[in-house]
Chain A
């Protein structure tokens, strides 16, 4: 293994985990002139931003399938394009078919979406523009919030006051009505948010989905409106949400980030397991590797989830019982499974044929619509019922799906495969990590896979017969293979109780975690999960400031 030639004792920062946030943090740290080392347990870089080979020449996004939330400033600062990142953004964002042949189509163009909705509901078509505009206005504020380090409320310094003023100004920028709306809307259930605006159940569900995606919540759970709005913060998502693919799969994002980090001078080692964080007098001083080797660093930066970082890597004595108790209570209820498919050829979606003939889609081939995120969630109640099962430790028999067929927009994924081949990536909810009467390593894995196929079959009859490869990743796999505690893709549930100042824990929400010189740069930190790079970018800024300052 490569660990033997890691020079010890001379690192400014050691980053644990080469997920996309770890790589972003490392790249920024290295650019700031800090000697930076990244250690990755797996053979591959990128964590959840990964591409899997299902079969020869059949490459599919392993977990996350779209990358449209990656912060533009990161792409710019790190020159990701120059490091090989190429993005593909189809004009269709969402295609939400129903078994009865109706479909909702959301485009990158608001007017086009509204035109298409007119055939379904005139009031909804009229309301869409205003809803989109409001989502964007509130999203702009949340983006500002997302770019800020939460203030230090225990011993505020001048910087915290200034940051507070800046946020206050941008809050005021929303206007009096906008500010009030924001405060009213953030703690709301997303079902209420879309219910206030639209009458068509399918449209409500297609939009509300992003409020519950990756969370152990249903559309009627409070706080899901905030998740929806935050999803569109800092990108061009609006009401429809982003649909952007990385050419070559999400692993291409990791490769570009790694290239940028290396170019800035960071060193990255894969297949290197960190077993603990070294401390002296309560200060983090480096990490210990599985082979017993110690790597000293002025700052230890964890890209892992906070629960695993605190309970798995930090000495419990250094942590103390109170913080240990709090860390143990960080909520990580994973409910997401992933089903990846390779198809002999594309099946027909009857709803796509009908939608292609409608006003908004004028001139589109039915197949074109399938380039968007295909959301299979027939209505708000159907989503809620799917969630209900998970409350009692059962997987949904009629799960909610977000499927993509990335090979349509990016044929390189199936280059060399038999002509007509496609790959499908399905995010499926709800599949709780804890099964009450079942075992993910037993028959439940494939049984859940079958229920996902049945849902797909309901809108694309015959799809099952096209399948040549099928992979079902359960929350247990997410934990074992990707190191996500509880199988939670966001490192910690995106609830109002784990938000901003208190993500992951109040008093530790400023990237400085538990011990001096220990930092959190992953999705468990503000502004949370998804492939944004936000936590990594923000954390790097704080680490650089600390290492440059004379204060301990």
Chain B
């Protein structure tokens, strides 16, 4: 006799777990099914090499919604976010020692770095070293971005309306938005429009002239996208990543203790405490439907589980193409799902280090290593990295965002040793035929990443004990993220808000009754934000007239 639940959640990633926690809290008998042996999806901590623990995929947290931390009381279940301080952008050829001489006897560069820290005064002094105008513009820019993030924040908790629908009710939240838009100054309004439409590079050009500053700031506009910093639409992703910064008071920007798996464990703890059941190594083979209604799931083991609602946290393509029989949804919807763009563009290199590397721009084991280290020396370098990817090659000189978690959380490695997390762009999922398959390119790609790091920290090769190279194909294979897209679908303008994931189906419901989506494929997109899982669960509860916002007893 099959078991029966009110809700079964497919996938134990952070969104699936958050959904489950809210559903259970709302009184539903809830079950989470995770394919892997470990919870968290792309937010997992694993001991990849003996003694060395890694946030294998997602490695920092800046976006996790404060209301989720509060409502689910995550600190009580072990959530502890350790702050990361600053962003260090080294330039090639070292300052602090004579600039190297090139083959023709010319001096190569001057050797320098740009180092921004949380200490505002210090950052301004550093910027002034580069450009007085930029130092002045930095404050104005920062304030403007905070204003923008404040304005847009409510959008993160809105269920997107269908603008093509004749029912005006879902449009009502937009009215409030319009009113708050009207309260902005004309300049703020104009900047908001620019954020929604411009390239990160063009947007920043309006304030700044310092090349490494623009390159490093623009980098957050292309994380997880198959776009360059000069591609229109990337300014929005810049804002998307800024969202966490305004909640600085919640200490939401940093590294979770124990790695990003620590977040997943905390959420799972909250879900269990609310009564949810969680099963690992329970891969779902199929979503069961009857008469256009989801009725449960079948596991790969053959076991069938009945459920009043099926909530899928896996991406939209997995949900409708892989887990469902063709013909369950109408052809047009299926075509829209197939059109949804994934185009994973990121890779990851995890290094186990014998000791810390030393950057020629600022040698030694100082504070500069304790924040993010961004290999983004110039706008051209960033854009060229994208040019490679556009034509189906991984970047020969990639953009690398480095974090050394052991400096704030030594428990991740044996005493004195370190782990280094290198997020890499671009690594396009679809390689050109002339380049070959990813399985034949993994090593060369990993070498290109280490070579790139060695340009700035030549001793890195001697420090490496072990190295794990993750291509987008590896990300797909391990986490199930289609095409290795870390956001479960590109954050391009045509795939946002009421068009995410399918125009007209942005309200977490799907054409299959009682089947819901709660993953990053839905509004408001990816990152360890959790808003998707929370809103989806609250919508589901509301549809059952259950109180979603009841406090935990």
Q: Which residues of A are interface residues toward B (Cβ below 8 A)?
A: 153-154, 171-172, 174, 176-181, 183-188, 192, 196, 217, 220-223, 322, 325-326, 329, 331, 381, 384-385, 388, 391-392, 495-497, 499, 501-502, 505-507
Closest B residue, CB atoms, query A436? B380
A187 contact from B206, B390, B494, Cβ within 8 A: B494
Contact A507–B387 (Cβ < 8 Å): no
A94 to B174: give the CA distance in the assembly, Å: 43
Contact B198–A329 (Cβ < 8 Å): no
Contact A180–B494 (Cβ < 8 Å): no
Interface flag for B341 (CB, 8 Å): yes
Contact A176–B190 (Cβ < 8 Å): no
Closest A residue, CB atoms, query B391? A381
Instruction: Write out the residue numbers on chain B whose beta carbons fall within 8 Å of the beta carbon of A499.
Output: 197
Contact B193–A180 (Cβ < 8 Å): no
A126 to B476: give the CA distance in the assembly, Å: 35
Chain B nearest Cβ from A268, distance in angstroms: 35
Known contacts A154-B186, A222-B492, A497 near B198 by CB under 8 Å: yes
Contact A384–B390 (Cβ < 8 Å): yes
A174 to B499: give the CA distance in the assembly, Å: 17
Contact B198–A188 (Cβ < 8 Å): no
B190 contact from A186, A217, A506, Cβ within 8 A: A506
Contact B190–A187 (Cβ < 8 Å): no
Interface flag for B332 (CB, 8 Å): yes
Instruction: Write out the residue numbers on chain A whose beta carbons fall within 8 Å of the beta carbon of B383.
Output: 391-392
Interface flag for B249 (CB, 8 Å): no
Contact A222–B233 (Cβ < 8 Å): yes
Interface flag for B328 (CB, 8 Å): no
A188 contact from B163, B196, B231, B494, Cβ within 8 A: B494
- Candidate in A153, A180, A392 with the most chain B CB atoms within 10 angstroms: A180
8 A-B pairs with least C-beta separation: A179-B164, A180-B503, A187-B493, A496-B197, A497-B197, A222-B233, A506-B190, A222-B232
Known contacts A192-B341, A326-B190, A384-B390, A183 near B503 by CB under 8 Å: yes
Chain A nearest Cβ from B227, distance in angstroms: 8
For window 261-304 of B, CB contacts with A under 8 Å fall at none
Contact B494–A184 (Cβ < 8 Å): yes
A180 to B112: give the CA distance in the assembly, Å: 50
Contact B193–A506 (Cβ < 8 Å): yes
Instruction: Write out the residue numbers on chain A whose beta carbons fall within 8 Å of the beta carbon of B232.
Output: 217, 221-223, 495-497
Closest B residue, CB atoms, query A493? B202
Contact B202–A502 (Cβ < 8 Å): no
Contact B231–A506 (Cβ < 8 Å): no
A329 to B504: give the CA distance in the assembly, Å: 36
Contact B380–A196 (Cβ < 8 Å): no
Interface flag for B434 (CB, 8 Å): no
Contact B163–A183 (Cβ < 8 Å): yes
A176 to B205: give the CA distance in the assembly, Å: 39
Interface flag for B182 (CB, 8 Å): yes
Interface flag for B543 (CB, 8 Å): no
Instruction: Write out the residue numbers on chain A whose beta carbons fall within 8 Å of the beta carbon of B190.
Output: 326, 502, 505-507
Contact A179–B163 (Cβ < 8 Å): yes
Contact A222–B332 (Cβ < 8 Å): no
Interface flag for B542 (CB, 8 Å): no
Contact A507–B231 (Cβ < 8 Å): no
A-B contact pairs, 10 of them (CB 8 A): A171-B164, A172-B166, A186-B494, A188-B494, A222-B492, A381-B391, A384-B391, A496-B233, A497-B198, A506-B186
A322 contact from B163, B166, B187, Cβ within 8 A: B187
Instruction: Write out the residue numbers on chain B whose beta carbons fall within 8 Å of the beta carbon of A501.
Output: 193
A183 to B186: give the CA distance in the assembly, Å: 25
Q: Mark B460-499, 1 if CB is under 8 A from A, else 0.
A: 0000000000000000000000000000000011100011
Known contacts A184-B499, A495-B232, A506 near B494 by CB under 8 Å: no
Contact A392–B503 (Cβ < 8 Å): no
- Candidate in B163, B182, B332, B341 with the most chain A CB atoms within 10 angstroms: B163
A180 contact from B164, B198, B202, B493, Cβ within 8 A: B164
Contact B197–A495 (Cβ < 8 Å): yes
Instruction: Write out the residue numbers on chain A whose beta carbons fall within 8 Å of the beta carbon of B230.
Output: 391
Contact B503–A502 (Cβ < 8 Å): no
Chain B nearest Cβ from A251, distance in angstroms: 35
Closest B residue, CB atoms, query A217? B232
Closest A residue, CB atoms, query B166? A172
Contact A502–B182 (Cβ < 8 Å): no
Contact B182–A154 (Cβ < 8 Å): yes
